[in-house]
Amino acid sequence: MKQFTVKTHARSEMIDITAEIRLILRESSVTNGICYVFVPHTTAAITINENADPDVPRDILMELDKVIPLSDNYRHREGNSAAHIKTSLVGSSEVIFIKSGNLVLGTWQSLFFCEFDGPRTRQVLVELIFNDR
């Protein structure tokens, strides 16, 4: 398993981590298989979405804020219940196929680290599974 650090700069943001994942893949001997990406945090997530237009991640965060507002009479005393709920909805991991040494992503797809309780320093874990077929 490999890991890398992501430093966030806002309460909520989406950071493209595709380049970091591709670097880990290039440094491995895996040509075909599966890439698991996992965030071991309860207020951060991983998702795959469009990265051609920076308004897409902004729109995603804007709509999540509308559905799950920062303050809404939550009982959790730390004041970050909205972040926990967003993380549960978006998810803590993604699985991407690997073919011929490349991540199998659509033309406009990228992997995003989603911060919902920043700014913070976070960890991303990556596991590559080899498949010789």
Sequential DSSP letters for 57-116: HHHHHHHHHHHS-S-SS---TTS-HHHHHHHHHH-SEEEEEEETTEE---TTEEEEEEES
pLDDT of residue 79: 86
Cβ neighbors of 15 (< 8 A, separation 6 or more) are 6, 8, 112, 113, 115
Region 29-57: mean pLDDT is: 96
- Residue 131 DSSP code: -
* Per-residue CA distances from 28 to 43, 55, 115, 123 (Å): 29, 33, 27, 20
Rg (CA), the chain: 16
Is 80 exceeded by the pLDDT of residue 133? Answer: no
Give the model confidence (pLDDT) of 81-107 as tens digits: 999 999 999 999 999 999 999 999 999
Domain regions of the chain by residue span: 2-130
**How many degrees, rounded to 5, is the angle at CA 93 between CA 115 and CA 12?**
10
**For residue 8, what are its two tokens?**
């966030």
Region 53-65: mean pLDDT is: 97
CATH superfamily of 2-130: YjbQ-like (2.60.120.460)
Q: What is the pTM of this model?
A: 0.95
Amino acid symbol at 86: K
Residue 28 CB-half CA count within 13 A: 24
